Structures are given as C-alpha cells and as structure tokens.
Chains A and B, each alone.
Chain A
Amino acid sequence: MKFLPLIWCGLWRKPARTLLTFLSVVVAFLLFGLLQGVDSAFERIVGQQKLDRMFVDPRFGQPVPFSYKAQIERVKGITKLTEVHFMGGYYREMNNGLGVIFTIPSIWLAIRPEYQIPKAQVDRVAGTRTAVVISRWLAEHNGWKIGDHITIKANIPRKDGGNDWSFDVVGIMHNPDAPEARQMLANYAYLDEARASGSGVVSRFLMRIDDAAHAGRIARQIDALFANSSVATRTQSEQDQVQSALARIGDFKFFTRAIISAVFFALLFLTLNTTMESVRERTAELATLKTLGYPDTGLLALVLAESLLLFLVAAAIGLAIAALLFPLARDIVGNATLPSAVLAIGAGLAVAAAFISAIVPALRARALNIVQALTVR
C-alpha cells in the first residue's frame, strides 16, 4: 500500500492524457455493459425456460383439434396437461392491447409456478364461466380490481355477432420475471361456447412432464400419434422453443460480439500507445528509481499497477453508468436489471485489458539500463 502514492503520482504526471484515457475506458466499459447486458438478459430468458415444460404445436400452423387431448393424456410421463387458445384484443383504445389465454387456469398456473397468485383466487375461476385472472400490470394500468366486470374488443367473433368479450375479474397474478406482461387467463369452455366459428380447436397444448430426461421420448411419442392425422403436431420443450424464437430475431450474439471486439480493439490501441508514451517520457525518472535501489521487477510491477488502477476504476464507473442506463432497454429484454454476470465478466476484461496495454512498456521499464537511460537525457 505504501506504493500507492507513487503509482498515483505516475498516473497524474500528465493529467490531461490520463483523464482522456480514463474517459475512453469509461465509455468502452459503458458500451460493453449495455451490449453484454442485453445479450446476457436474452440468455437468462432462455435459461429460465423449463425443460420439463412442453408444448404440442401444430406442425403447419393450423388450429389443433381439441379431441387430441384425450390421446395425448395417455402418453406416459405427462403429469399435467391443458389446452391453450390465444385471443388478441384491446381495451378501449386500439393501442391498449392485451392477450387472452383461454385454458384451464388452475392447471395452467400449476404448470407455471413462477406466477404468484393466492390459492383462494385460483379456486374461484372454475365456479364462474366468465372468470378471468389478470396480470398485475393490466390491473394497475387499467385500474381493474377483483370483482370488476370488464369488456374488451377481440379478434374472435362471437355467436351473437359482436366482437365484445366480457369477463369477471376473480384474481390477479404476477410474474416477477415479466412484470409488464399484458395477459389474462380465462376458461376455455367459455370461449368454445361463445365463439361464432371454429369450435373444438385450440392453439396448442401445454404440459408438464415428470422428468426433463423424458422430453425427447414424449415428444416423439406424441408426434407419432398424429403424424398421419389431419393436423400433424410438433412437440417441443419450452427451452427449445424460446431458443429458436430468439434465433429468429437475428443473430444478436454475433452483433454484440463484433461490436464489443471492435470497441476493445480501438481502446487497447489507444491505451497501449499512451502507456508507451508515458514510460518513454519517464525514462529518466524510472532510471533514477533504479539507481535508488528499486528492483527491476518492482518497476515492471509499478507500470502494470498504474494501468490496472486506471482500468479498474474506469471500468467500475463505466459499468455503474451502464447499470443506471440499463432500465432503458427494458422494452427489448423485459427485465430492468443488469445481470450480475456482466459485472464479473467486465472486471475480468478490465484486468486483461490493463495487462495487455501495459505489459510491453512494463517490460521495457524492467529492461532499462541505468547508464544509458540517464545519458540520453
């Protein structure tokens, strides 16, 4: 610790240069934090998806006959199974969109324990045909509360000729990982009675299986059941599905990696240059230190320590700003905190960058020949 003042003085020998280098490092780590943050957030989304949760989807995009349910149920290893039918709609304003999931809400919620809801509210769904469980965001945004009778406009026409679907709010659910979800759960039976056409079909089936290791066998067994039926199926685990959905957005990883590499390439070029210059300018001073008895490795450590101090402090500030700005990316990644893994990777990167940009000048300082260095002056 007693060398800290020496390192500090070495750093601030030319305040403008150090400050500018410092700010470049801050900006580089700020960018790294934001890009890597979005990237890690996507990965976290994939990681949260369960391998023991599976979907039975139509292979060619048609609606799936409800009658498949009885056959799927008989496949060994399925512990919970429910039908799902999606309806898009909006409340009052076109831009106030929401999604209705027609299902058996109690089973749907049992398959997805990450949704928080009091059990008493779930129990009330089965008793009321028009019951609905709304997400907390919908409740807060639209001012809905339990007991309210709500009417939304939706894209499925009703037998009575209209597009207005009415529901009675019996519960409010919350998923901390998707705090802004605009979804509500309603009884599939209500949809099937009231819709004008297409009765007896669903969007997909959702199920929980006893062991993630059985996912492949169960998927093959179900798909074989319907391979030659009117609607062929494709059964997948939730994780597989989310992974390929994210891949469809575009190869995001490639872009973040390419940009981060470009930023760090330019940064290392800059810091290597400034450190070289700084050591070159201080040739006489370093030689003096050697004359005073500082060991060769001591000088090497001194130069490395300067660089390390600069990088660590600047990286900390850059990542802190990234953490502050990250909530702005909420629209893209759905969650508002910078993953902590990014901070760890950032710290590692800072140490590596400090080392790379200072090792050549540091070796030069170690190899310094006192007599020569002092005569040049």
Chain B
Amino acid sequence: MSALRETIAVTGMNLRSLPTRYGTSLVIVVGIATVVAVLVSVLAMSRGFLESMTRSGRPERAIVLGRGAEAEASGGFPRDNAVTVLGLPGIKKATDGSPLASAEYLASVLLPENKDGRDAFIVVRGVGAGAFELRPELKLVEGRLFKAGLNEMIAGRGALKQLNGIKVGSHIPMQNGDWTVTGVFESNGDSHESEFMTDANTLIAAMRRGETFNSATVWLEDGAAFTKFKDAVSSNPTLAVDVKSEPAYFEQTSRPVARVLNVVAYVIGGFMALGAVFGALNTMYSAISARRVEIATLRALGFSTGAVIVSVFAEALLLAGVGALLGAAVAWFFFDNDLVSMASATNRGQLTFALSVSPGLIATGVAFALVIGTLGGLFPAIRVSRMPVAVALRG
C-alpha cells in the first residue's frame, strides 16, 4: 500500500514538473503526432477504398462475367448468352414476374477536363430494366431517370465530385452525339456511385460495337440458389461465362490494391516510428538528466527505485498519448471523408471514395504511439535505476 502511495506521489510530482521541460517534452509529442497522423491517414485511404468496394456487393446477388474475365471490363459475352443466363433457375422473380436481373454493358467516356484539368475516364453503365429493383441501394436524389431509347443518362454523385461543372442538364459527348444528364443518383457511397448509368440497349446501339454484354447481375432466390444457379450455368454448353457471388467478386478485385496501401502505410509508419523512438529516447534521457538531482534526493530520502522508474514511464506514456491524440485529430480533421480518386480496379474508370478515419484506426495509431513511448522510456528508466545517489547529488 505504501509502495503504491510512494509511486503515486513521485509520479504526480514528476508530471507536475513537466511544464518546466516543455521544449524537450514537445519533441516526443510532435514526433509521435506525426507518425500517428501519417499512419492513420494512409490506413484510412486503404479502408475507405475497401469499404467503397465491398459495400457494392450483397450476398443475395451474383455477377456473371465472360469466361476467364477477372473483372467486368476485361471480358464479355454475346446477347444470346445474356438472354439464356437471365432465364436460368435460381433467380428471384421481380414484382412484375420477370427475372430480377440486369445484363449490363460498360462504355468508357473520356471527358477532357476534370477537377485537376486532366483527362478523366468515366464509366457509363448500360443497365437492364430490372436494375433499380435489383439494387435497392440506388436512389435518385436529383432530377429524373433516363428514358430508354433517348440519349439520356443519370450521374453518380461520386463521379460528379471529380468532374468540373457537370450537373443535371449538362451534355456529355458520346459516339452518336451529345447525351443529356437527367438526374443524379446515390448508391450508399459504393463503387457504382463513381459511374454514370443509362439503358443498356440504347447504349449498345449508340456505341455500334456489337451485341456484347460485359456482365449480368442477378438476385438469387435464397442462400441455396447460388449453387443451383452456378450449376445451371456450368452445365449449359452454349454459355461461355463464369459466375461469382457479388461480395466475392468485389473483395477479390479490390484486395490487391488494399494490400498495397496497407503495406505502404505500415512500411512508412514503421520507419517513422523508428525515428520517433530515437526522438523519444532523446527526450527522456534529457528529462532524467534534468531531474538528476531531484531523483537522487528522492532516493536519498528513501523513495524506492521502482517508484522513480514508474514516474519515468508515466511521463513517456503520457506524452506519447497526447501525441497520438493530436496526430489522430489532425488525420481526422484533414482527411476524414476527404474524397480521393483512384484508377478503378474493375473497369477503365475512376473510383471516387471517401477516406474513413474510424475509431479502430485511431486505436491502431494510439497503440503504435504507446509502443514508441514504452521503448522511449525503457532505457532512460534503466539508467535511472542504476544512477549512484552520491554521485548524482554531488552534481
């Protein structure tokens, strides 16, 4: 009990004396804040990307791709295949009795000027009539839907954020003349929000590129229907397509990119943390050097070495904690919900997504900081315990 009181007394005294060493103390705080801010921001990018991609997938849905195609844009299948696929068993029926499915066609449109004055590829997704019942997350927030047969399309909110001045009523130059943007849609911040949408048949006719679809998305009857549907696809010799569940498809296409971002975050964060450990050691050595006479006096008065060591650690961890919170606050303030645009992993377009600074990432940053603080306090604490009282008192 008295050991505890002793420790609290020494630690409290030490922390109260911190302001007299504010210059060196700030070194730890600033060093660790920098590490945490960088680490959390890059991880937030990786996380935002993954969230945006995986949010696009729902376990009830499956996606049909051209045989051997890794992604929608890299393959296709002819119209007769699309018709056959939509008639297979396992697909849920829509309210009007037709299959709840959409055969889709992707076109990429080059818009010469985006926000940064560079070329931007925007994906225009031609969808079937069932696309909106198939994707309940799709919501029109402005204007009206496109009409099949007319040169009209609706724009994803994410896509518009990257483009300069395009809004409802704007014209988009396409193969067969200008198309009109009739509305804006939101899609829960997923990858479709970075696209434009229109009627598949109108788009196919306009592009004059043959009757080829890039993918078909279907809503399955129930959990067991995936196997049924997949078997029906693979047992039909006229079909040259593959089936994947939607979450598996989006996860598989986004994993490599997210992995690269994570590696970058931890490699850079790791090196910076190493630098911050050196900085923290420096600070703590000079802190104990400034407290040398004080510490020796305490020990001469009978305070235990343990209490002094704890006070050194408490100082290091407190400063590390303050640094971590400061760094996380900087990352959150500047980058949370910040929009980033990156080459899409699944098609030729751009993917726009929001960075996401989550509590989990902040916890990761704080954990990093506390490890730095512990390492920074360790060796100085060892030195404290070995400091001969008499020599230190002589100053």
Binding site for B on A (CB under 8 A): 16-17, 20-21, 23-24, 27-28, 30-31, 34-35, 59-63, 88, 155, 198, 230-232, 234, 243-244, 247-251, 255, 258-259, 262-263, 265-267, 269-270, 273-274, 276-277
Instruction: Confirm or deny: B394 has a beta carbon within 8 angstroms of a beta carbon on chain A.
Output: no
Kindly supply a per-residue 1/0 record for chain B positions 18-43, scoring 1 wherever the CB is within 8 Å of any chain A CB and 0 otherwise: 00000110110011011101100010
For the complex, what is the distance from the CA of A249 to the CA of B261, rounded to whole Å?
Answer: 12
B30, A230: Cβ atoms closer than 8 Å? no
Instruction: Confirm or deny: B387 has a beta carbon within 8 angstroms of a beta carbon on chain A.
Output: no
B278, A24: Cβ atoms closer than 8 Å? yes
Task: Kindly identify which residue among B207, B271, B278 contacts A30, using a CB–CB cutoff of 8 Å.
Answer: B271
B107, A263: Cβ atoms closer than 8 Å? no
Q: Which of B201-260 contact A (CB under 8 A)?
A: 207-210
For the complex, what is the distance from the CA of A276 to the CA of B286, rounded to whole Å?
Answer: 12
Knowing that A60-B108, A60-B110 are A-B contacts, what are 7 other residue pairs whose CB atoms are under 8 Å apart, sorted by A's residue number?
Answer: A17-B282, A23-B275, A244-B119, A248-B343, A266-B34, A266-B35, A266-B276
A155, B343: Cβ atoms closer than 8 Å? no
B282, A61: Cβ atoms closer than 8 Å? no
Instruction: Confirm or deny: B11 has a beta carbon within 8 angstroms of a beta carbon on chain A.
Output: no
- Chain B residues contacting A35 (CB-CB under 8 Å) are 268
Instruction: Confirm or deny: B96 has a beta carbon within 8 angstroms of a beta carbon on chain A.
Output: no
A61, B108: Cβ atoms closer than 8 Å? yes
B34, A265: Cβ atoms closer than 8 Å? yes
User: B41 — nearest CB in chain A belongs to which residue?
Assistant: A258
A270, B279: Cβ atoms closer than 8 Å? yes
A20, B68: Cβ atoms closer than 8 Å? no
B118, A247: Cβ atoms closer than 8 Å? yes
For the complex, what is the distance from the CA of A156 to the CA of B23, rounded to whole Å?
Answer: 67
User: A259 — nearest CB in chain B belongs to which residue?
Assistant: B38
Task: Kindly identify which residue among B174, B208, B279, B281 contacts A266, using a CB–CB cutoff of 8 Å.
Answer: B279
- Indicate the member of B42, B119, B274, B275 with the most A CB atoms within 10 Å: B275
B207, A62: Cβ atoms closer than 8 Å? yes
A248, B350: Cβ atoms closer than 8 Å? yes
User: B348 — nearest CB in chain A belongs to which residue?
Assistant: A61
A-B residue pairs in contact (CB < 8 Å), sample of 17: A24-B278, A28-B275, A31-B272, A31-B275, A60-B109, A60-B175, A61-B348, A62-B209, A231-B175, A243-B118, A244-B118, A249-B342, A249-B343, A263-B34, A269-B27, A270-B30, A270-B31
Kindly supply a per-residue 1/0 record for chain B positions 76-119, scoring 1 wherever the CB is within 8 Å of any chain A CB and 0 otherwise: 00000000000000000000000000000001111000001011
User: B66 — nearest CB in chain A belongs to which residue?
Assistant: A155
- Chain A residues contacting B268 (CB-CB under 8 Å) are 31, 35, 259
Binding site for A on B (CB under 8 A): 23-24, 26-27, 30-31, 33-35, 37-38, 42, 68, 74-75, 107-110, 116, 118-119, 121, 174-175, 207-210, 268, 271-272, 274-276, 278-279, 281-282, 285-286, 340-343, 348, 350
- Chain A residues contacting B285 (CB-CB under 8 Å) are 16-17, 20
For the complex, what is the distance from the CA of A273 to the CA of B27, rounded to whole Å?
Answer: 8
For the complex, what is the distance from the CA of A255 to the CA of B335, rounded to whole Å?
Answer: 12
For the complex, what is the distance from the CA of A249 to the CA of B344, rounded to whole Å?
Answer: 9
For the complex, what is the distance from the CA of A250 to the CA of B48, rounded to whole Å?
Answer: 14
B27, A248: Cβ atoms closer than 8 Å? no
Task: Kindly identify which residue among B68, B108, B210, B350 contacts A155, using a CB–CB cutoff of 8 Å.
Answer: B68
B343, A62: Cβ atoms closer than 8 Å? no
- Known A-B contacts A247-B118, A265-B34, A269-B26; the reply to A62 vs B175 at CB < 8 A is yes
- Known A-B contacts A27-B271, A61-B107, A273-B23; the reply to A247 vs B282 at CB < 8 A is no
User: Could you tell me the distance in whole angstroms from the C-beta of B334 to the nearest C-beta in chain A?
Assistant: 9
B207, A60: Cβ atoms closer than 8 Å? yes
A274, B107: Cβ atoms closer than 8 Å? no
- Indicate the member of A16, A60, A63 with the most B CB atoms within 10 Å: A60
4 pairs of A and B residues whose beta carbons are closest in the complex:
A27-B275, A266-B34, A248-B343, A24-B278
- Chain A residues contacting B27 (CB-CB under 8 Å) are 269-270, 273
B343, A273: Cβ atoms closer than 8 Å? no
For the complex, what is the distance from the CA of A136 to the CA of B1, rounded to whole Å?
Answer: 75
User: Could you tell me the distance in whole angstroms from the C-beta of B342 to the nearest C-beta in chain A?
Assistant: 5
For the complex, what is the distance from the CA of A281 to the CA of B388, rounded to whole Å?
Answer: 22
A277, B286: Cβ atoms closer than 8 Å? yes
User: Could you tell me the distance in whole angstroms from the C-beta of A301 to the nearest C-beta in chain B?
Assistant: 25
A63, B209: Cβ atoms closer than 8 Å? yes
For the complex, what is the distance from the CA of A277 to the CA of B282, rounded to whole Å?
Answer: 11
B75, A155: Cβ atoms closer than 8 Å? yes
User: Could you tell me the distance in whole angstroms from the C-beta of B48 to the nearest C-beta in chain A?
Assistant: 12
For the complex, what is the distance from the CA of A316 to the CA of B69, rounded to whole Å?
Answer: 48
For the complex, what is the distance from the CA of A248 to the CA of B116, rounded to whole Å?
Answer: 11
- Chain A residues contacting B35 (CB-CB under 8 Å) are 266
A234, B282: Cβ atoms closer than 8 Å? no
For the complex, what is the distance from the CA of A249 to the CA of B342, rounded to whole Å?
Answer: 5
- Known A-B contacts A60-B207, A262-B38, A270-B31; the reply to A20 vs B282 at CB < 8 A is yes
User: Could you tell me the distance in whole angstroms from the C-beta of A34 to the nearest C-beta in chain B?
Assistant: 8
B107, A27: Cβ atoms closer than 8 Å? no
Task: Kindly identify which residue among B37, B118, B340 contacts A262, using a CB–CB cutoff of 8 Å.
Answer: B37
- Chain A residues contacting B207 (CB-CB under 8 Å) are 60, 62
User: Could you tell me the distance in whole angstroms from the C-beta of A212 to the nearest C-beta in chain B?
Assistant: 20
For the complex, what is the distance from the CA of A24 to the CA of B274, rounded to whole Å?
Answer: 8
For the complex, what is the distance from the CA of A24 to the CA of B116, rounded to whole Å?
Answer: 36
For the complex, what is the distance from the CA of A113 to the CA of B17, rounded to whole Å?
Answer: 70
- Known A-B contacts A60-B174, A269-B30; the reply to A24 vs B208 at CB < 8 A is no
A250, B343: Cβ atoms closer than 8 Å? yes
A24, B275: Cβ atoms closer than 8 Å? yes
- Known A-B contacts A244-B119, A250-B342, A273-B23; the reply to A266 vs B282 at CB < 8 A is no
- Chain A residues contacting B350 (CB-CB under 8 Å) are 248
User: A21 — nearest CB in chain B belongs to which residue?
Assistant: B282
- Chain A residues contacting B274 (CB-CB under 8 Å) are 27
User: A328 — nearest CB in chain B belongs to which residue?
Assistant: B267
Task: Kindly identify which residue among B26, B74, B175 contacts A232, using a CB–CB cutoff of 8 Å.
Answer: B175
A250, B208: Cβ atoms closer than 8 Å? no
B271, A31: Cβ atoms closer than 8 Å? yes
User: Could you tell me the distance in whole angstroms from the C-beta of A360 to the nearest C-beta in chain B?
Assistant: 12
User: B269 — nearest CB in chain A belongs to which residue?
Assistant: A259
For the complex, what is the distance from the CA of A250 to the CA of B340, rounded to whole Å?
Answer: 8
For the complex, what is the distance from the CA of A28 to the CA of B34, rounded to whole Å?
Answer: 12
- Chain A residues contacting B341 (CB-CB under 8 Å) are 250
- Indicate the member of A16, A24, A61 with the most B CB atoms within 10 Å: A61
User: B330 — nearest CB in chain A belongs to which residue?
Assistant: A262
- Indicate the member of A34, A62, A249 with the most B CB atoms within 10 Å: A62
- Chain A residues contacting B278 (CB-CB under 8 Å) are 20-21, 23-24, 27
